[in-house]
Structure 1
Amino acid sequence: MKIVCQREPLTQAFALAASIAPSRSPKEILQNVKVTASGSKLTLIATDMEVGIRLEVEEGVEIETEGAGLLPVQKMMAILRESNDESLTIETDDSGIRITGSRSKFKLPGANPDEFPSVAGFEEDKYHVVPTRLFREMVKRTVFATDPESSRYALGGVLLEMEENNVTAVGTDGRRLARMEGTGESVGSHQTNGMTTIVPTRAIQLMERALSDKEETVDVAARNNDLLLRTSRAVIYSRLVEGRYPNWRQVLPQRSEAIQLDMTVGPLFAALRQAAIVTDMESRGIDFTFADGTLKLEASTAEIGESQIELPIAYDGESITLTMDHRYVADFCKVLDNETNFIFEIESGAAPALLSTDDGYGYVIMPMAKDR
């Protein structure tokens, strides 16, 4: 194989593929990216056996000799980042790998590309077409609520539910739950079954990273044990988390008597950051007291001090105090713009709070027992 590539587009593509390759593995061959040169494009393949990617590069690629080679992730990434050359020539043969720039030469040991594991392509005739912007928002607004460290494996990923024109993503760690839903298009009557399409946290984050702003839609196909995502230039494969997801619909409150308050993200987030100044890892709870046209945020930590921040709200009913982990409320604020309006729904100090927007986002926070 002999190719001449513009360094910048190759670096971007290689970095994405390299993010899937494991930094350590008993199978040393997985610490490479397989590059295949054919026709007018390069195909980059990487996998850790749980997640895999096939990525095509055509921009700035000139193929002099077709073939395949294995490029070691760490050394190749360092060369691409440190080089000042606009283009690089990459040659592979039985003697190894040669990378040549205008004023630089590198030689690296090679391995047999035929021994590299295959990564599935997208051959499905049943899948969902999802707007790229929606898929990104689904990941951004749910993935932070997952718990990859939990012994309950199902909590270590994002649940995807797809049927007809509906697409829903859910993340939970058992103490809070985030749900984002929107509209997609089912092709070939594609749909998920039950609550088992759980995409590992790391995998769905990589999928989100692979999306380009230039693409209007992505294709998502759920199979029995894995999920495939296709963009115009890449296919990403991921095994699904084993297990069954909790019945998240039972967690989302359906309350006719609850109090619904119209609020804006920015002012709440600013007040929350101030109140949280006196919290620590042991005392994370902040009292949210709704009464007399004011939301009062209060925190107290023996060794640090006390805080009391007030925020005007449109509520003059009976006083309700809800103690919540300030980090969980902050996570909700971080994934939304400061100007975003939302509904803050409360019922009592012992019932969960529900924060929701008008674009399909709902976020449940369980109250804390008072720790002071």
Structure 2
Amino acid sequence: MKISCSREPLTNAFSLAASVAPARSPKEILQNVKITASGGKLTLTATDMEVGIRLEVEEGVEIETEGTALLPVQRMMAILRESNDETLTLMTDDSGIQVSGARSTFRLPGSNPDEFPPVVSFEEDKYHVISTRFFRSMVRRTVFATDTDNSRFALGGVLLEMTGNSVTAVGTDGRRLASMQGEGESIGGHETSGTSTIVPTRAIQLMERAVDENEDTVDVAARQSDLLLRTKTAVIYSRLVEGRYPTWRQVIPKRDDAVQLDLTVGPVFAALRQAAIVTDQDSRGIDFTFGDGTLKLEASTKDVGQSQIELPIAYDGDPITLTMDHRYLADFCKVLDREQSFQIEIESGASPALMTTDDGYSYVIMPMSRDR
């Protein structure tokens, strides 16, 4: 194999592929990215046997001799990051791989690319077509709420429900729940069944990262034990999390007598950050009191101090106080535009708070005990 390639597009693709390769593995061959030069383009593949990725690079690629090679992730990434050359030449021979720039030459050992495990391509005839904008928003608004504690394995990913023209994503850790519903187009009658299409947190974050915001749509295919995503230049494969998701719709409150208030993200987030100044790792609760035309945020931590922040609101009813973990409300604010309005529904200090937006986003926070 002998090719020359513009460094920037190669670096972008290699960096994304490298994020899949394991830093440590009993199978050392997995600590490489496989590169295939054929048909006027480069195909990069990487896998840790749970997640796999295929990326195509055509921009700035010139292939003199077709072939394949394995590029060690750590060393190749360092070369790409430190090089100042606009174009790099990659050439393989019996002794390994040579990477050359205008005034630099590196030789790296090479492994047999035939021993690298295959990464599946997207050949499904049943899948959902989802707008890129919605897919990225859907992931960002739910993935932060997943559980990173392996003791609750089924919560360690985002649940995807795809039926007809509807797509819903859900993330929860048992203390808060985020769901996002929007439109998609079912091709070939594609749909998910039950509550088992749970995409691991790391994998769906990679998918969101791989999606080019300049593309209009992405294709998503759920199978019995895995899920595939396709863009114009990438295919990402992920095994699904084992287990079944909880009946999450029962978590979203349905109340007739709850208080509903319209708020704006920016002012709420600013007040929240101020109130949280006196919190610490062991004392994360903030009291939110709604009443007398004011939202009052109060925090108190021994040996740290106290805070009281007031925000005008359109509510003059009986005061309602509930205690929430400030981090959970901050996470909600971070994934929305500062100018965006949302509705908060509250009932009592013992009931969960429900936040909703007019574009299909719902977020539930369970209250903390008052003694925190």
For Structure 1 versus Structure 2, the TM-score category normalised by the shorter chain is: over 0.9
- Residue number in structure 2 paired with 1:369: 369
SS in structure 2 of the partner of residue 205 of structure 1: helix
2:12 and 2:343 map into 1 onto residues whose CA distance is: 40
1:243 and 1:78 map into 2 onto residues whose CA distance is: 39
CA contact (8 A) 1:219 1:231 kept: yes
- Residue number in structure 1 paired with 2:177: 177
Residues 163-203 of structure 1, C-alpha deviation per residue, up to 9 Å, x if partnerless?
Answer: 00000000000000000110000000000000000000000
SS in structure 1 of the partner of residue 250 of structure 2: helix
1:222 and 1:355 map into 2 onto residues whose CA distance is: 29
1:237 aligns with 2:213: no
For 2:92, the aligned partner's letter is T
1:371 shift after superposition:
2.1
2:141 and 2:314 map into 1 onto residues whose CA distance is: 27
Written as runs of structure 1 = structure 2, the 5 A alignment for 1:192-341 is 192-341=192-341
1:250 and 1:94 map into 2 onto residues whose CA distance is: 62
- Residue number in structure 1 paired with 2:151: 151
2:206 and 2:222 map into 1 onto residues whose CA distance is: 17
- Residue number in structure 1 paired with 2:130: 130
- Residue number in structure 2 paired with 1:29: 29
For 2:345, the aligned partner's letter is E
1:302 shift after superposition:
1.2
CA contact (8 A) 1:295 1:312 kept: yes
1:217 and 1:256 map into 2 onto residues whose CA distance is: 38
For 1:185, the aligned partner's letter is E
2:342 and 2:284 map into 1 onto residues whose CA distance is: 24
SS in structure 2 of the partner of residue 138 of structure 1: helix
- If the length of structure 2 is used for normalisation, what is the TM-score? 0.99
1:333 and 1:296 map into 2 onto residues whose CA distance is: 18
CA contact (8 A) 1:283 1:371 kept: no
For 1:20, the aligned partner's letter is V
SS in structure 1 of the partner of residue 124 of structure 2: coil
Which of structure 1's runs of 4+ aligned residues deviate more than 2 A?
none
- Residue number in structure 2 paired with 1:343: 343
User: Taking every aligned residue pair, what percent have the same amino acid on both sides?
Assistant: 77
CA contact (8 A) 1:90 1:100 kept: yes
1:214 shift after superposition:
1.4
1:80 aligns with 2:84: no
1:179 and 1:227 map into 2 onto residues whose CA distance is: 19
Residues 204-226 of structure 1, C-alpha deviation per residue, up to 9 Å, x if partnerless?
Answer: 00000001121000000000000
- If the length of structure 1 is used for normalisation, what is the TM-score? 0.99
SS in structure 2 of the partner of residue 260 of structure 1: strand
1:92 shift after superposition:
1.3
1:95 shift after superposition:
1.2
Which stretches in structure 2 are left out of the alignment for 5+ residues? none
1:150 and 1:299 map into 2 onto residues whose CA distance is: 31
Which stretches in structure 1 are left out of the alignment for 5+ residues? none
Count of aligned pairs between the two proteins: 372
SS in structure 2 of the partner of residue 151 of structure 1: helix
Written as runs of structure 1 = structure 2, the 5 A alignment for 1:93-108 is 93-108=93-108
Written as runs of structure 1 = structure 2, the 5 A alignment for 1:4-83 is 4-83=4-83
1:93 shift after superposition:
2.5
